[in-house]
Amino acid sequence: MIGEPATDSTALDEFHAGLERDFLDGLWRIQGQARDARTRVRPYLWCWETIYRHLLRAGELLRVERAADRRVLLLVNPGLPEIRAATHTFAANVQLIQPGEVAPSHRHTATALRFIIQGHGAYTTVEGERIRMGEGDLILTPNWTWHDHGNETAAPVIWMDALDRPLVAALQAMFFEPYPEERQPVTRPDDYSARKYGAGLRPLGSRAVPALSPQRAYRWADTYAALTTLAAAGEATPYDDVALEYQNPATGGHALPTLGCTIQLLRPGVHTRAHRHTSSTVYHVFRGRGWSVIDGQRFDWARGDFLVVPPWAWHEHANASATEEAILFGVNDLPALEALALYREEAYPDPAGHQPVH
């Protein structure tokens, strides 16, 4: 810290005013704020009943067409209302598509992913590949890939979207382009990438490592089989219980360059240990009920709810049932933090690993 001379504060004030006029500043004037800035992201729980009620109302009031091309509710973190996103780096949204509707084709530099919450048999087309949507499926839309959605079934279909929009906006790399027609042509067999890569095989001779995951869909049946196999074998982690990360099969790394996706099964009665890390997470409760403690605050959750864990916030999870499993789908910004060498984590110091709840 640079000390200010005790005398002559007028001269110093004039000096500072002169700096302002010339678009300069002294580090000593912002040091406190810059060195140890605390996050403004707040832990928060969005109840499914509330989201669903508003989403159904949007389904009645708004038509999907070129002008309003997606019927999407944004989860707004109460700590950063101006960003209109669940956390500072990515948005978590809920989308509804009615029978017969087409959400027209476009592409953007924000990376997106979808986790299907309700309904069967709608589809999304990504780069010429039609992908059927079933509950619990994860579908990736890597950045700058053309995508449109359609619902040819008789019932509404609802899914969660996550997009790294706030991160891309901070880097000022946002581009958006509508496709000249409502839908892009289908140029590949249905579910091409999942069939091609989902069995752990790759075409002979192809050693190239694509930057973006070549696999676009991860099917719930496969995901759940992996989870229950691990659970039966007792392969669990102290902070997340039985937990898996969706991987890019070409690299073994995260599914997307900026966003990581996880699925975790909290076995009946399990209460995990608390820890904290610089990445932030949004959870969607896919099955079961339980609670999480975030920085000493308890959030009780049930099927359909969404929960955000801010960066560097202590958190632990519990399954409230002694007989039923609880399953959380998670999206995080870990890949971005790792890429920038900013990831760090810490175990909660208490011997049992649990925080006091206030």
Class of residue 14 by CB neighbours under 10 A (exposed 0-12, middle 13-18, buried 19+): exposed
Nearer to ligand GTQ, 110 or 227 (CB): 110
- From the list 96, 163, 217, 243, which residue makes contact with ligand GTQ (rule: CB under 6 A)? 163
95 touches ligand GTQ (CB under 6 A): yes
Q: Which of 47, 58, 72, 102 binds ligand GTQ (CB under 6 A)?
A: 72
Write down the least CB distance from residue 101 to ligand GTQ, Å: 12
Q: How far apart are CA 109 and CA 280, in angstroms?
A: 21
d(CA 184, CA 165): 23
- 166 close to 114: Cβ distance less than 8 angstroms: no
Q: How far is the CB of 188 from ligand GTQ (least distance, A)?
A: 19
231 binds ligand GTQ (CB under 6 A): no
Give 222's contacts (C-beta < 8 A, 6+ positions apart). 198
Asked if residues 294 and 314 have their Cβ atoms less than 8 Å apart, the reply is yes
String of contacts with ligand GTQ for each residue 323-342, x by CB under 6 A = --------------------
Does residue 80 interact with ligand GTQ by CB under 6 A?
Answer: no
CA angle 247, 117, 260 (to 5 degrees): 25
Which residue of 77, 87, 89, 93 would you call a contact of ligand GTQ, by CB under 6 A? 93
- 70 lies in the binding site for ligand GTQ (CB under 6 A): yes
Residue whose CB is less far from ligand GTQ, 147 or 284 = 147
Interface map 120-159 toward ligand GTQ (x if CB under 6 A): ---------------------------x------------
Give the nearest distance from C-beta 125 to ligand GTQ in angstroms.
11
Q: Is residue 44 a contact partner of residue 78, using CB atoms and an 8 Å limit?
A: yes
216 binds ligand GTQ (CB under 6 A): no
Helix spans in the chain (H): 9-21, 27-35, 48-61, 165-170, 192-197, 220-233, 334-339
Phi, psi of 19 (to 5 degrees): -60, -50
Cβ atoms within 10 Å, residue 173? 11
Q: Contact between 84 and ligand GTQ (CB under 6 A)?
A: no
Binding residues (CB under 6 A) for ligand GTQ: these are 70, 72, 93, 95, 103, 112, 147, 161, 163
